[in-house]
Amino acid sequence: MKPPAVDWCVLRLDDNGNRFLVRAGLPRAEAEALAREFAARDHKQSYWAQPRAADATDAPARGSDVR
pLDDT per residue as tens digits for the range 9-60: 999 999 899 999 999 999 999 999 999 999 998 777 899 999 987 555 544 4
Domain positions in the chain are 18-51
pTM over 0.85: no
What is the pLDDT at residue 58?
47
pLDDT value at residue 56 = 52
pLDDT band at 1 (very low <50, low <70, confident <90, very high): confident
* CA–CA distances in Å: residue 62 to residues 2, 16, 21, 37: 33, 15, 8, 20
pLDDT band, residue 6 (cuts 50/70/90): confident
Alpha-carbon span 22 to 62, nearest angstrom: 8
CA distances from 60 to 1, 3, 46 (A): 30, 24, 16
